[in-house]
A and B are shown apart, each in its own frame.
Chain A
Amino acid sequence: MLRLLTLFLALALPVKAEEVVLGMSQTEVAITANFDGSEILIFGAVKREEAIPEGDPLQVTVAIQGPSEPLTVRRKEKRFGIWVNTESVEVDAAPSFYAVATSAPFDQVLSSTEDLRYKISIPSAIRSVGAPMTVADSQSFTEAVIRVRKANGLFQLLEGDVEFSQETLFKTSIAMPANLTEGEYRTRIYLTRSGEVVSEYETFIDVRKVGLERWLYTLSRQQPLMYGLLSLAIAIFSGWAASAIFTALRRN
């Protein structure tokens, strides 16, 4: 369900030689009752006043980041013959969704110093400082966050998924799974040359529940007792209705 293509003109900053002009298939993701994930098409062009500079080709990186939240990561170990949670590490902030698409292998697109500065790669998006002293390999807990979220389609590294033609037009599509969290999804586009960022552009995709989903969610948080009673009323009514229907059916 592609909406009208909306174009966002980048503010013309004269200092930059090359800038991003961006379009997106949608700037909102509406979570409706039959929401089954969403595919977002991100496309655009590089605007420049002069000829394409010599040297390494220009590369494009697109990153979409969902709202961050703290997490507890637990590890299982075999104790008394069964697998139980033993050690745990608190991760201070991990995005609920993170997708990075590049026009070439990641290490060719971006140098590690630039990655540190702009926090683009998946590991750099996770902040973890407070691992307890008893846990020797806290790194493996952060890796586990990435592994588990990748398996759920919540973290995606899409190397070479950005189509980039004539160092001018670029296009990529990012699949957002159904299990999205609500919030502002920060969307960043970087133009890089020889691993250095030459231009960046930032916008937001709004992910919101709408309609019945919105109403139920709000009711459950703001009027929990009403919500609970409503759930029970529906349950009792359905139970009675089914019984009444079956009795009527048996009489006929």
Chain B
Amino acid sequence: MQIYLPIAEVSVNAFLLLGLGGIVGILSGMFGVGGGFLMTPLLFFIGIPPAVAVATEANQIVASSFSGVLAHVKRKSVDFRMGTVLLIGGLVGAALGVFVFNYLKSLGQVDLLVKLCYVLFLGIIGALMFVESLNAIRKSKKPSKAPKRKQRGWIHALPFKMRFRTSGLYISVIPPLIVGVAVGILAAIMGVGGGFIMVPAMIYLLGMPTKVVVGTSLFQIIFVTAFTTLLHATTNFTVDMVLAVLLLVGGVFGAQVGSRIGTKLKAEQLRILLAMMVLAVCGKLAFDLLVMPSELYSLGAAGGH
């Protein structure tokens, strides 16, 4: 069944969108990532204009994250205090990100820089997670000594310390704020929730327990993507409600299924799966940048408007 999208001004198959939403929703629930890093490139492939894809994806992530976070709230695996600190940074970052996005658009380089960002971040994070999870699995097989407590280095020397009970942490608010800003910028520029960078940052940088990481990142993502949606809707008019509804109907159900699956898998298995997926998307994007495109010319609206 074809359906016409009023803002994107293209006609696409409704079941294709429902299916894409569902699959990405499952991943979102399993890993606590918004799924935007998969969905946004997929939307490009089916012919949605990039500006509309980025803005609408933000709206869809609000729905799937909200659905996902409810399941985590019931299991008490959300650190609201940490989430709020990350959120404050996130809102600042999102505003910066939309500003940077509009500036790059006027230069005609937004596609390239978005793709380079993807390749860089996905590559680094994917590789780090992959190696780390492999080591963790290897260690868990051997009857090893108790795992060493995470680094007590420079992060613990910073001022403005705060107690995060749910995470069992007593650290400075500066690192989570910086993580929040970075994620907010990425959310606005790349049309992603930023979970794929926030989850590893929370585990490796902040030393949060894996159990609360997913719920807390979903909590932060809801508000940052909601803010991004509003910014795009009011400055670029690129949020397509029909597209968003189709994606989120599939997405919210997928997220529920995914979070059930997530509780049944071990943390290491979960992380290695996510790492492999991140690396696959990274590889595809890098390949596209290196291979000569079939059409060297591209059309855009005049004056970088």
Contacts and interface: CB of A to CB of B under 8 A. Distances in A.
A135 interface: no
B159 interface: no
Contacts of A241: 252
Given A72-B302, A231-B241, A242 B255 contact: yes
A228 B7 CA distance: 13
A27 interface: no
A179 B10 contact: yes
A10 interface: no
Contacts of A225: 230, 233-234
A108 interface: no
Contacts, number: 194
B242 A33 contact: yes
Nearest to A82: B289
A78 B70 CA distance: 48
B4 to A, nearest CB: 4
B303 A228 contact: no
B147 interface: no
Given A85-B111, A228-B229, A235-B62, A216 B302 contact: no
A36 B298 CA distance: 24
B4 A232 contact: no
A75 B112 CA distance: 13
Interface size class of B (residues with CB under 8 A): 35 or more
B251 to A, nearest CB: 8
A34 B2 contact: yes
B234 A224 contact: yes
Interface in A44-102: 69-78, 81-85, 88, 90-91
Contacts of A181: 9
B2 A243 contact: no
Nearest to A149: B299
B293 A76 contact: yes
B109 A84 contact: yes
B157 interface: no
Contact of A88 (B65, B70, B108, B252): B108
Given A216-B6, A239-B62, A232 B67 contact: no
Contacts of A147: 295, 297
Given A82-B289, A246-B256, A238 B7 contact: no
A37 B10 CA distance: 10
A141 B297 contact: yes
B88 interface: no
Given A36-B4, A231-B241, A239-B63, A71 B252 contact: no
Interface string A12-43: 00000000000000000001111111000000
A235 B2 contact: no
Given A179-B11, A234-B244, A74 B230 contact: no
Contacts of B98: none
Of A32, A149, A230, A231, most B-chain CB atoms within 10 Å: A231
Contacts of B6: 209, 212-214, 216-217, 220
A229 interface: yes
B292 A78 contact: yes
B112 A232 contact: no
Contacts of B248: 234-235, 238-239
Nearest to B295: A148
B300 interface: yes
Nearest to B249: A238
A239 B67 contact: yes
B249 A71 contact: no
B270 interface: no
Interface string B58-83: 01101111111011001000000000
B67 A216 contact: no
A73 B301 CA distance: 9
Contacts of A220: 6-7, 233, 237, 239, 241
A178 interface: yes
B276 interface: no
Interface of A: 31-37, 69-78, 81-85, 88, 90-91, 141, 144-145, 147-149, 151, 178-181, 209, 212-214, 216-217, 220-221, 224-225, 227-232, 234-236, 238-243, 246-247
29 contacts: A31-B4, A33-B242, A34-B3, A36-B2, A69-B302, A70-B303, A71-B299, A73-B300, A76-B297, A84-B109, A90-B302, A91-B302, A209-B6, A213-B4, A216-B242, A217-B7, A220-B6, A220-B237, A221-B237, A225-B230, A225-B233, A228-B234, A231-B229, A236-B62, A238-B245, A238-B249, A239-B68, A243-B252, A247-B74
Given A72-B108, A74-B298, 6 more contacts: A36-B4, A72-B299, A76-B296, A83-B293, A239-B63, A243-B256
